[in-house]
């Protein structure tokens, strides 16, 4: 498995660890910059959502007191947004990455709502790649498919949806761990492993209802 896909796997495990937090969205991001690494998910922001790339950037700056270098890589479960979005108050994630001077992006699935082909990112000045690991691609595709499958329920009932799906939803992650033996208990860097599939989440009945947004 390539180094970038190993970090994509760790990004998915980070998402798993935070999956039942009521403020956690569906997308996760890692910024990898030599010895500096930052993980984040998309999160609720009032009636909107803060995208995973921006959250990972802010965590990176807070952790290391500097911005990612131009040699950094953004590793994301879903390719970065490009278009203007009604429920995103900030600039697009692609613009954020461009403004940092970062060229390298790697992701689990192409979001064809924003770009029809990988070449579109090349035209924007990125060196863009998508995972070649089938199980990682399957997991990221499942995450992206949640937007179309659940539509308006995403904002008002996301936690309930996640509970309905159960932790079996993450089976492709356990498959790649089992087949590749890439992460063991000793070197998992505190990320959860399949034993945590015994977790029984509880619903947060006080969760706020918010307006629909298809780009968590």
d(CA 11, CA 77): 8
H or E stretch including 84?
A: none
Q: Is 194 left (phi over 0), alpha (psi -120 to 50) or beta?
A: alpha
Q: Where are the domains of the chain?
A: 3-198
pLDDT digits over 38-60, tens only? 999 999 887 778 999 999 999 99
3-198 fold? Cytidine Deaminase; domain 2 (3.40.140)
d(CA 209, CA 214): 15
Q: Could you give the dihedral angle defined by the CA atoms of residues 99, 103, 106 and 112, in that order, rounded to the nearest 10 degrees?
A: 70
pLDDT of 209 higher than 70: no
pLDDT digits over 177-202, tens only? 988 776 544 444 444 444 344 344 44
- Contact in structure between 94 and 88 (CB atoms under 8 Å): no
CA dist list (Å): 135 to 30, 117, 213: 18, 21, 27
């Amino acid at each position: 498995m390539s180094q970038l896909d190993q970090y994509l796997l760790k990004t998915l495990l980070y998402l798993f660890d935070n999956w039942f937090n009521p403020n956690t969205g569906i997308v996760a991001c890692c910024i990898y910059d030599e010895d500096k690494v930052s993980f984040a998910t998309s999160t609720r922001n009032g009636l909107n959502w803060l995208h995973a790339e921006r959250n990972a950037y802010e965590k990176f700056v807070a952790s290391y007191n500097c911005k990612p270098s131009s040699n950094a890589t953004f590793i994301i479960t879903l390719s970065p947004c490009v278009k203007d979005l009604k429920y995103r108050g900030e600039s697009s994630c692609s613009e954020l990455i461009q403004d940092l001077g970062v060229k390298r992006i790697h992701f689990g699935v192409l979001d064809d709502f924003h770009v029809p082909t990988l070449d579109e990112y090349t035209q924007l000045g990125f060196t863009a790649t998508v995972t070649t690991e089938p199980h990682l691609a399957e997991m990221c595709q499942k995450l992206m498919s949640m937007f179309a499958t659940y539509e308006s329920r995403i904002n008002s009932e996301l936690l309930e949806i996640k509970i309905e799906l159960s932790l079996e939803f993450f089976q492709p992650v356990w498959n790649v761990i089992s087949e590749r033996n890439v992460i063991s208990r000793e070197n998992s860097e505190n990320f959860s492993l399949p034993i945590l599939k015994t977790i029984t989440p509880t619903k947060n009945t006080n969760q706020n209802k918010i307006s629909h947004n298809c780009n968590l």
